Structure 1
Amino acid sequence: MAYRYNAESRSNKATRANSKSKAESNGPGLLDSGMYDDEETGIDPASQVRGMNILIVDDEANILRTTSIALKSMGHTPFTAENSRRAEFILAEERIDAMFLDVMLGNENGLDYLTKLKARNEKVPVIVFTAHSSIESAVESMKRGAYDYIQKPFIPEEIRQMLAKLERSIALERKVEALEEQVADKDATIRLESEEPDMQKTFNVAFKAANSEASILILGPSGTGKTVLARNVHQRSPRAKEPFITVNCPSLSRELLESELFGHLKGSFTGAVKDTWGKVAAAEGGTLFLDEIGELPLEIQPKLLRLLQDREYERLGENRVRKCDIRVIAATNRDLAAEVEAGTFREDLFYRLKVISVEMPPLHERPSDILPLAENYLKHFAVREGRKNLRFSTEAGRQLVDYTWPGNLREMRNVIERAVILSVGDEIEANDLPDDFSQDESGGPRPGQMISLAELEEAHIRRILAKADSLDQAASVLGIDTATLYRKRKRMGLT
């Protein structure tokens, strides 16, 4: 439906608005159908903001009706309440993105209700309706935490512009939150490029799948950058401007994890002191990232399967079925196929999650990537410490490549940060690296170095012989008979 503002003067409407009469006989309201017709909108469809759930709180039926019509024409979903009690009910039942609140609600003071909302840390931005002659109340509403205000009488274009402004503010807040999360993320500086064919395949598959709505399962040991890959998939997807919400599955008990995912009603369990919306609602329109999905309790798995299949869920303590529009990406360091065999993970959920499956290998399987990744971390921390010319010495670089990196990228980040802090001059030397990086007392090679098995075997035998009390003991440790060890020792030139 479309509308057009007629030529009636704003001053006449102001006079009518300030009367606050609810009687239909007193004439049309501020956004009454008499002010519009169905021929044109006067609103540029291309400039309309993303559809939001908007609660209108006003004691005038005419305002509720006509503002609702205007919001619908702009692609939003309106909810109406004639008083704060009804508004409270809707806030508990619906995910509200913004609220229009009249300063005068019959016998209630709208600003007092605004104060109540802000006192309990309600996150919904509130736009106050105030009469043309009551600029003082508008100023007071801003002091009490209102996002902005609109003077009565108003036209649909003013509503549209206000909501466009709000949408830009929300988008900016999300961007700031995302940047803050990336700064706090220990793996935020991971380089998503590789010289390794297997890694190139992982990135190619993940980024090709980014434009789809398919669920993605990212496999790999802890610290390999699964979260960073998931975030990059989101950033390359059509949902990039919407939230990226992370749920760490092992971090909470079963009941608290279910509440964090789906939300709960007040009193639904011990400690549920108020209604809350979960991470599913927070991710609306965007991506829900389930980290370490292999730790998800078996009792919650059917609910996640329903979310994936039907895009439906229920809050704890609530019988109402809610719809959602989210994309799910999951990650795990577990062998989910083995978990399915063991009966600890649902087979149907496993296959629903792995529509697209990619693997992040451990760092020691990416030898050609080690130095570029380390240099990427070095650049990040050197800039932070004001040492832009800092570099690795030849020996330090060799030790970084030779090290086995059991903690993967997470360990690398910590090692490089430590080295930047402890180093002196423009080079990070080998002695700036942890003791684990230096060769042991025998001076020989270590597992993970670019050497042959024969060289590694000889180095290991030498170390065991140096520590064992006898040839028999050394042979026992090595798992070979004494005669074989004697021959190997002789071949190595040892007597």
Structure 2
Amino acid sequence: MPGRVLIIDDEPDVCDLLDAGLKKRGFSTSYRTSGEEGLDLLATEDFDVVVADLQMKGMTGLTLCERIVGTRPDVPVIVITAFGSLDTAIAAIRAGAYDFLPKPFELEVLRIAVERAVRHRALRDEVRRLRRAAAEAREFEEMVGASAAMKRATDLLDRVADLDTSVLITGESGTGKELAARALHRRSARRSGPFVAINCAAMPEALLESELFGHVRGAFTDARAARTGLFQKAHGGTLFLDEIGDMPIGLQPKLLRALQERTVRPIGGDDEVAVDVRIVSATNRDLEAAVEERRFREDLYYRIHVVQVEMPPLRSRGTDILLLAQRFVEKFAATTGRPVTGLSPAAADKLMGYAWPGNVRELSNCIERAVALATYEQIGAEDLPEKIRAHEAKHVVVATDDPAELLPLEDVERRYILRVLEAVRGNKTRAAELLKLDRATLYRKLARYGTSD
């Protein structure tokens, strides 16, 4: 981990030892042999962390720590001393020290402490930057994000907003597909018209048909009055068909006809009713696979899939996690009246290390809970749910010089393909795109691995 370290100790031999040890471990270092000289250097140059001896002639380490906290509170201070005791540790922490190391210590222990301090500063700076960015972010309505993946999605939404083109929004559950659809409507020429949404997976076929197309009085048992369908209610605006991949196959022909003819016929009715709606659909299903398996009509697929916008999973959005978290902190602090203003570096570190299988929805739930439980102005790691505090990122490392431990290429390929498929939650179309394979090739490989389902 790169970082600039300023060493302050009145013993030149100790400075030389720490300087050489930290340089060998990749840090950029400078040292001074008095607190006054250290403060002078810190006033003209930027350092990520200061390592200072507690017992020095002239200015003591505690006084130095207090001065640094007063003038450069962004720079963490690690205090070292040969007079280690609970009292000195408490005094150092009260003076604003980030960490305390009693002598003698191994250089590896110092390296770990310095890395933690550098990371602490970087995260604190990032949280502060993202707090400002959260207040300024208004690029595409409420869709917060500065990552490349999110910019691709918002740029595409922006380009098609003023068109009447049908848009299919895809992505995992919780990635904000309905939010994207609403933002698209608000940016469109139909913004003054209604935005009507329906979840196609939430009701049985007969009820879904009545909701979409309406019915006349007496059309079926209990139809005591006529009902206007959502197509008519969305006239002049946008109809959002959420979870369209779960629409019953028997209802799909009627939907296709309504999209082609721009008319609907209520259940039990004789007359066609003209409708003017823009269709925006969303799904977390692999619709191409559903078409191949005859669970979704191919002609309907091409009718709704004129433009596809992929909403990226939260785990692929980098520091958007912290940007969104800051937005949620402000939102829930305002609604609950809690005096919470942001995230501590430790909490930010935990949020960045978690995989977020529930995406933005899970992050929102996490921050709402943390705001409710927070003891201080900043959310701490202890305020986060246990599964996030205890989560450890998994890394696959290939590092060996023993030929007997090296894997055959086919085995490496199999493991990687299965890992990609796991990362995209089984979406074979997305996996094929990432792997630069055509779908037929991917299916053959999966069949050979015995995982084609």
Is the aligned partner of 1:446 residue 2:389?
no
Q: Tell me which moved more, 327-336 or 194-203.
A: 194-203
Q: CA deviation at 1:270?
A: 2.4
Contact preservation (8 Å) 1:190, 1:376: no
Q: Tell me, what secondary structure is at the counterpart of 2:372?
A: helix
Cα distance in structure 2, aligned partners of 1:377 and 1:193: 11
Q: CA deviation at 1:267?
A: 1.9
Cα distance in structure 2, aligned partners of 1:355 and 1:406: 29
Counterpart in the other structure of 2:433 = none
Cα distance in structure 1, aligned partners of 2:384 and 2:145: 24
Question: Which residue identity is paired with 1:412?
Answer: L
Counterpart in the other structure of 1:378 = 329
Q: CA deviation at 1:438?
A: 1.7
Cα distance in structure 2, aligned partners of 1:261 and 1:414: 32
Question: Which residue identity is paired with 2:370?
Answer: A
Q: Which runs of 5+ in 1 are unaligned?
A: 1-188, 458-478, 480-495
Is the aligned partner of 1:298 residue 2:298?
no
Report % sequence identity.
Answer: 44
Counterpart in the other structure of 1:401 = 352
Q: Tell me, what secondary structure is at the counterpart of 1:414?
A: helix
Question: Which residue identity is paired with 1:418?
Answer: R
Give deviations 1:321-342, integer Å, cap 9, x for gaps: 1110111100000000000000
Equivalent of 2:291 in 340, 351, 356: 340
Cα distance in structure 1, aligned partners of 2:287 and 2:352: 31
Cα distance in structure 2, aligned partners of 1:291 and 1:256: 16
Structure showing greater relative contact order (alpha-carbon pairs closer than 8 Å, 6 or more residues apart): 2
TM-score (norm. length: structure 1): 0.51
Q: Tell me, what secondary structure is at the counterpart of 1:329?
A: strand
Q: Tell me, what secondary structure is at the counterpart of 2:201?
A: helix
Alignment of 1:81-480 (within 5 A): 191-439=142-390, 445-447=392-394, 453-454=396-397
Cα distance in structure 2, aligned partners of 1:330 and 1:316: 23
Contact preservation (8 Å) 1:265, 1:316: yes
Give deviations 1:434-483, integer Å, cap 9, x for gaps: 0001236xxxx423xxxx532999xxxxxxxxxxxxxxxxxxxxx9xxxx
The RMSD of aligned alpha carbons is: 2.0
Question: Which residue identity is paired with 1:357?
Answer: Q
Question: Which residue identity is paired with 1:264?
Answer: H
Q: CA deviation at 1:207?
A: 1.6
Q: 1:205 to 1:242 in 2, by over 3 A?
A: same
Give deviations 1:138-185, integer Å, cap 9, x for gaps: xxxxxxxxxxxxxxxxxxxxxxxxxxxxxxxxxxxxxxxxxxxxxxxx
Q: CA deviation at 1:198?
A: 2.3
Counterpart in the other structure of 1:18 = none
Cα distance in structure 2, aligned partners of 1:351 and 1:229: 21
Q: CA deviation at 1:312?
A: 1.1
Counterpart in the other structure of 1:6 = none
Cα distance in structure 2, aligned partners of 1:456 and 1:410: 37
Question: Which residue identity is paired with 1:205?
Answer: L
Cα distance in structure 2, aligned partners of 1:195 and 1:453: 27
Cα distance in structure 2, aligned partners of 1:388 and 1:242: 39
Cα distance in structure 1, aligned partners of 2:165 and 2:187: 14
Q: Which runs of 5+ in 2 are unaligned?
A: 1-139, 401-414, 416-453
Give every structure 1 segment of 4 or more consecutive aligned residues whose post-TM-superposition deviation is greater than 3 Å: none
Alignment of 1:51-62 (within 5 A): none
